[in-house]
Every structure is written in structure tokens, then in C-alpha cells.
Amino acid sequence: MNKVMLVLVAGLFLSAAAVADELIVTKDGKSVWATGTRKSGDNVVYTDKDSGNEKQVPSSGVEAVVPVVQRGKAYKPEEIQQNVDLLKKLVAKQPGLLRQLNELLQGWQALQKAAPEYDGMITSQINLFNSSDRSPSVYQKATLELGMIKFKDVQGAYTARIDAACEAMRKEFVATNIVRLVKMAGIQPMLVEHFVPLKRLAEPVTKAAEPAEKEKIKAMVEKARTTVYDNSIRLADSLIAGGKNVDAYLRSSAVLSLLKKEVAVTDQQKADVDKKVTALREVAAKMLSGYTLNANGFPVTDDDLGLQNKTRPFAIRTMFSSITFDEQCAMIPAANPGSLRVKQPYSMPIRLIFNSAQPANRVFGMVVMITGTSSMQTRTIKLPAVTIKNAHAEITFRDSFADFPDDFELGADRKGRSTLYIYLACQDNTQDPVKDPWEPISGAWAFRINP
């Protein structure tokens, strides 16, 4: 067995690639198409592609085991070149196997020819970024697209150009957005509503920045955080005193909620905000005529409580221990949706109650989860615009089961019951492409569902 063959076969036997299709070439000028080739003692064991039978041949009689190019599989440039070199040597040494060997050689050589369309695709991404506002979403999309091209370019013909383009984009993205961060950090007076977008932008920029730039951004954000916390905690007393009607209470509650969630970092700071929230709710409980503040700060009416009691025959409130969220909304199904069935459209009126003011033009969605035999089927259905008045909103939720998987199989618990869950979410604005864009803001309701 020659040296080249030893290198290739050793790598093949010791890796998961051994399950790929191969051509076994013997020293006596024969060949066999095989799969599952592996080394077993002094033998090469394989499954004959024609007969399907497992066979073996002494390793000493094997010239080479050459993998067949698998469509859709990525190969490293050095692996491609190694197989091309091996096949050229085999073609010269085994003239009786020219047809099989040339077929394999052409397949491997084809991978060394750069796809001409990649050049235009790279240029397109560069131009799109250069003509953009250099926002995090644009930068992440451009680098992701270039990364996909690099992955497909198995021979590495465009690696250098792609790497250079990504580095140029990174530098421009960081430089442009540091200027934005400096401007945002200079807003006076610095309040919670100013700090949140500053913090959101700083996160992706910090990830892309060089060490010295990271420290600059961190110092900028921390200085703004301290200023915002000090300003807001001083304003808290006036917010509390102003919480004398529902809208004022919701606005004050929203500021304190953001202060704890986005600004406070130490346990002491969070505890101080909690005290302010308690004080706000005590004032609001005395001043809000016709409302009762429950334990989570929701201003509920007697009608709300009566409506919730009517849900007992057909729905159950529930919480998922695996889902953590800032509860900003309490949902109450306003009517029995009737017998629910998989893939059968349904609708139900729902009352929403909020404990803090919601940003203007916030996009809401209803997350729908159904237990399957192997996993939970989860979808998010975007809702029409929600109008909130006195902390309340009335909506009609409709689910048409559009785009529902055809192969879904309904699961059941030990008692044979299947469940559909719904909860309210809003679109997250972190621009993180990895994170789920829908952020939960309510507990869930569970309904029985039939096949």
C-alpha cells in the first residue's frame, strides 16, 4: 500500500465519513463500489453496493479507498486536493479502471471550479451594506449572507475576499455606531426612555468591537446607567404622588418597571425600586375609584373578577416554569370558544388588562402551543392593532391554523387529554437574530383540544 493511500484511508477509517459511498481499488486492478467501509484488523470490511452483502478484503491487497463526492456536502479545500492528487496517480497506475476513476476525478475537480455567481453575490452584499445606515440588523444580515457564501464555496476561492469584506464591514459598523452611542449618551437629562435604546445598541456593537473599543463603550454605558438610575430614583416620589388616575399610574409603573429591568444591576438597587413600586401601588389603591389593584399591580374591576370566574368550566390559568417574563398583561377569555379541534379555525373574545403603559405602536402577538406526540407545536399569530383605554383592551383572537404542519400528531397526557395553550407576547426590539423576536408578557391559558 503506497504512502498516499495510507494517508487517505487512515483518515477515512477513523472518521464519520466512512459511511459515505466509496470506490475500493485493489492492487490487482479491480474495483468495487461500496458503502460503510471500515478497517477491521487486517481486513477492509464493506457493504457491496450491488449485492448489499457485507464483504471483506485483506488490507494488503487494497490500493486505495476513494470517497465519492456527495452532493450538498461541504468539503475542505485540502481534502478536495488530496483526492484529486490520489485519483490522478490511480489513473496512471490503473489504466484498466479509467472509466470509474475518471468519473470520480471529474467530480472532485468540479469542486475546485469557483461558482461564478458567488462573485456577484458578494458584491451585492457589500453594496447593500455600504448604502445602508449600518444598523445592527443590516450588519448581521450582511455578514450572515457572506458566511453562507463562504460555507458553500468549498474550494475556498472566495475566502480571502469574504474575510476582507466582513472585516471592513465590522470596522465601519463599529465606527458608525460608536458615534451614535456618544450622541445618545449625551442626552440631558438622561432618563430611562433614553437609556434603553442606548443599551440595546451597545450590545451588538460591543460584540463586534476591538478590546479598546469595548472598554470605551462599556464605560459610556455604565456612566449613563448610573446617571439614569440616580435621576429616576429621585423622580420616583413625584411619579408616586402623580399616580392618581389609571393612565398616570400605568405611566409611573412603566418607568419603575424599566428602571428595575434595564437599569438596576445590584440587589440593593432592585430592592429600592421594589419599595418605590410598593409605594406607588399603595397610593394608586387609595386613589383609583372603581378599581382594585391585585398582587401584580393590575387595576381590575368587579366586572373583570366576574368574567374570570366564568372561565372555570372551559379554561385554566397556567404558568410555564421554563418561560421567564415580565408580566405586563393579564388575559381573561371572555367567552367559551367551544369545542376546539386541530386544524379547525376558531376565534374567541379576550379581555386584556395591563399594569404598565405600553409603548406607542407596540406589536402584539398570541403565542399558541399544542402538545404533540414528540414535541410542542408553537406558533405566534400577529394581532391587529390593540387599543388600550383605562388599562383595558378588548380583542377577538382568531386562529385559522394557516401553515400548520400536515404531519402533526396530537399528543395527550396519561388521562388522554390534549391541551392548547395561549399567551400574549410583544415583538422584542433587541435586533438579535438568534433571540426569539416575540417576548412573553402574560401568563397562559389552557384549553382542551381534540384531534
Between CA 442 and CA 420 the distance in angstroms is: 16
Between CA 116 and CA 119 the distance in angstroms is: 6
Cα-flanking dihedrals φ and ψ of residue 345, to 5°?
-55, 145
**Beta strands 346-354; 329-333: pairing state:** antiparallel
Which run of H or of E encompasses 58? strand 54-58
Between CA 231 and CA 192 the distance in angstroms is: 9
pLDDT at 210: 97
Residue 293 β-bridge partners: 299
User: What is the pTM for the complete model shown?
Assistant: 0.68
Between CA 83 and CA 68 the distance in angstroms is: 10
Domains in the chain, please, with CATH? 3-110 (2.30.30.100), 299-450 (2.60.40)
pLDDT at 333: 97
Q: What angle do CA 427, 246, 423 make, to 5 degrees?
A: 30
DSSP, collapsed to helix, strand or coil, labels residue 113 as coil
The four Cα atoms 261, 266, 268, 272 give a dihedral, to 10 degrees, of -20
Between CA 241 and CA 330 the distance in angstroms is: 25
Could you tell me the three cell numbers for 135? 444598523
Cα-flanking dihedrals φ and ψ of residue 241, to 5°?
-65, -25
pLDDT of the chain along its 451 residues, tens only? 333 332 333 333 322 233 348 999 999 999 889 988 989 999 999 998 888 899 999 999 999 999 988 765 777 888 888 999 999 999 999 888 998 898 888 888 877 777 788 899 999 999 999 999 999 999 999 999 999 988 777 667 788 999 999 999 999 999 999 999 999 999 998 889 899 999 999 999 999 999 999 999 999 999 999 999 998 888 888 878 876 789 999 999 999 999 999 999 999 999 999 999 999 999 888 889 899 999 899 999 999 999 999 999 999 999 888 888 889 999 999 999 999 999 999 999 999 999 999 998 899 999 999 989 888 899 999 999 999 999 999 999 999 988 788 888 899 988 899 999 999 999 976 555 555 689 999 999 999 999 8
Could you tell me the three cell numbers for 218? 462599556
DSSP, collapsed to helix, strand or coil, labels residue 291 as coil
Could you tell me the three cell numbers for 407? 404531519
pLDDT at 11: 34
